[in-house]
């Protein structure tokens, strides 16, 4: 599908996306004014932040330039846990119109709050994200992100409404019915996790519906790491533009950054979300282009302002101009989240590295899982299970063995560790309806 077909240069800029094109000097002036205001407000309203500033000997008037932000303390996940549930709120409860909570793998969730204005900012971010993927009024978005405390469903929903598109709030689950609705309602856009879209592709195949022949033309996939190889697979299997959408509950939700149709990284809406990249060990701010941990300061949020929030997501800031004309900087694909890393025989590995290895070899399906366990010798073992197309098991035993070897080699080339690859039948691995769990660490058992 040609990029030109959906290029937003061919139609007038939608009012919600106008700020994407702000000249940089104006953008920097706006950022500094907003930054001063949010730092002052958070200092005045949130005791936890004020005390951290005092310990570090900084006050709101220490901030004279954007670069001075580096003088201020970071906010980390434990700040959110320690003040659970409402300790970091900067608005009165009577001004808060919504709460959300992130999944939180252990114990208590992280609770985040929004005023009416915050919901508006969030919706605008999502509307701009959808517009960057060519969605317009008159388009129909099939929104299969989960509705509820998770920010995915309602985030995309409000954004689509703000843009003026038609939104179908299907939420997650009931996959065959979803395929039927996709087909019958003729949605042109879809949003869900990339792993759930794989599930939809599969289900469509079983129902003899060829997504490439449907009106669907673009997907907004995020909330979990995925690789460019997976993007290519989805684009090919469904005949759509598969775009990366990024966000996190602490900062608002989905729609903090969005891949445009030029597909090189994701524009971060930096009039609302100010990015820095730091070295996670030294905590120093890194120069443009360097890879490190993404730190975000919210410039306009009222109820839950975050100053220098450490996302634990590893990326870099791309500063070269983008062919789409948007002036806002881009973040590179988030291939790694420090929490997802596992260590095997002393080597740091990210699940996305295994995914890249697997999908570089032809003849496998993009469904896999990673199992870590203690071998008989007491050494850690890495087992990777991956599906192969139906029918492949019955014949060509030798080919199968060769495929297994090729996959093991492809993984070893990336992570320098030998993996035991097990080929399993199509549809035999568990599917996800939201964020997928691919890593099973059985070493403690």
Residue 249 in the binding site for ligand ADP (CB under 6 A): yes
Min dist CB 130 to Zn ion, Å, is 14
For residues 135 and 255, is the Cβ–Cβ distance under 8 A? no
Q: Which stretch binds ligand ADP (CB under 6 A): 25-33, 42-50, 201-209, 221-229?
A: 221-229
Between 34 and 262, name the residue whose CB sits nearer to Zn ion.
262
Site size with Zn ion, rule: CB under 5 A: 5
Query: Strand 336-337's sheet: what is its strand order?
Result: 273-278, 292-298, 309-315, 336-337
Find the binder of Zn ion among 141, 230, 260, 403 (CB under 5 A). Answer: 260
Residues 302-331 that bind Zn ion (CB under 5 A): 322, 324, 326
Contact 251, 75 (CB under 8 A): no
Whole-angstrom Cα distance, residue 311 to residue 280? 11
234 in contact with ligand ADP (CB under 6 A): no
DSSP letter string, 303-330: SS--SSEEEEEEE-EE-SPPTT---S-E
Q: Which of residues 145-164 bind ligand ADP (CB under 6 A)?
A: 151
Answer yes or no whether residue 334 interacts with ligand ADP by CB under 6 A: yes
Nearest alpha-carbon partner for 233 in 242, 245, 244:
242
Using CB under 6 A as the binding criterion, the count of chain residues that bind ligand ADP stands at 18
Length of the chain: 445
d(CA 159, CA 153): 10
Nearer to ligand ADP, 111 or 423 (CB): 111
Identify the CA nearest to 202 among candidates 243, 245, 238: 238
For the bound state, the minimum distance from the C-beta of residue 303 to ligand ADP, rounded and expressed in Å, comes to: 16
Work out whether 104 is an interface residue with ligand ADP (CB under 6 A).
yes
Task: Please identify which residue in 79, 313, 385, 387 interacts with ligand ADP, judged by CB under 6 A.
Answer: 313
Q: How far apart are the first and last CA of the chain?
A: 49
Residues 341 to 400: which contact ligand ADP by CB under 6 A?
A: none
Would you tell me which residues interact with ligand ADP (CB under 6 A)? 102-104, 151, 222-225, 244-249, 311, 313, 334, 337
Contact residues: Zn ion, CB under 5 A: 260, 262, 322, 324, 326
């Amino acid at each position: 599908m040609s990029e030109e077909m959906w290029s937003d240069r061919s139609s007038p800029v939608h009012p919600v996306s106008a700020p994407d094109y702000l000249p940089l000097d104006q953008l920097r002036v706006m950022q500094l004014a907003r930054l001063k205001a949010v730092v002052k407000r958070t200092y005045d309203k949130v005791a936890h932040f004020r005390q951290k500033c005092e310990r570090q000997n900084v006050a709101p008037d220490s901030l004279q330039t954007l670069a001075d932000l580096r003088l201020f303390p970071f906010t980390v996940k434990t700040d959110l846990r320690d003040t659970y549930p409402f300790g970091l709120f900067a608005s009165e409860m009577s001004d808060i119109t919504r709460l959300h909570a992130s999944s939180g793998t252990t114990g208590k969730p992280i609770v985040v709050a929004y005023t009416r204005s915050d919901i508006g900012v969030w919706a605008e971010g999502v509307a701009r994200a959808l517009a960057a993927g060519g969605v317009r009024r008159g388009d129909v978005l099939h929104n299969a992100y989960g509705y509820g405390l998770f920010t995915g469903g309602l985030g995309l929903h409000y954004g689509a409404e703000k843009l003026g598109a038609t939104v179908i709030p299907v939420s997650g689950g009931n996959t065959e019915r979803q395929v039927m609705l996709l087909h019958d309602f003729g949605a042109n856009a879809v949003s869900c996790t990339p792993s759930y879209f794989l599930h939809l592709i599969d289900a469509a195949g079983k129902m003899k519906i060829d997504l490439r022949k449907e009106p669907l033309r673009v997907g907004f996939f995020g909330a979990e790491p995925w690789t460019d190889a997976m993007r290519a697979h989805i684009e090919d299997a469904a005949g759509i533009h598969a775009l990366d959408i990024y966000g996190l509950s602490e900062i608002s939700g989905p729609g903090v950054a969005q891949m445009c149709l030029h597909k090189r990284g994701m524009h971060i809406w930096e009039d609302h979300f100010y990015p820095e990249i730091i070295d996670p060990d030294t905590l120093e701010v890194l120069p443009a282009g360097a890879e490190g941990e993404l730190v975000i300061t919210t410039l306009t949020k009222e109820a839950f302002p975050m100053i220098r929030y450490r996302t634990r997501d590893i990326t870099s800031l791309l500063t070269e101009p983008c062919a789409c004309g948007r002036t806002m900087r881009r973040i590179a694909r988030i291939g790694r989240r420090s929490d997802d890393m596992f260590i095997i025989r002393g080597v740091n590995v990210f699940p996305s590295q295994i995914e890249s290895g697997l999908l570089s070899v032809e003849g496998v399906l993009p469904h896999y899982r990673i199992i870590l366990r203690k071998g008989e010798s007491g050494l850690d073992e890495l087992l990777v299970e991956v599906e192969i197309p139906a029918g492949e098991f019955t014949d060509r035993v030798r080919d199968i063995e060769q495929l297994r070897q090729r996959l093991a080699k492809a993984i070893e080339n990336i992570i320098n560790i030998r993996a035991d690859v097990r080929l399993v039948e199509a549809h035999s691995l568990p599917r996800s309806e939201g964020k997928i769990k691919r890593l099973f660490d059985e070493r403690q058992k």
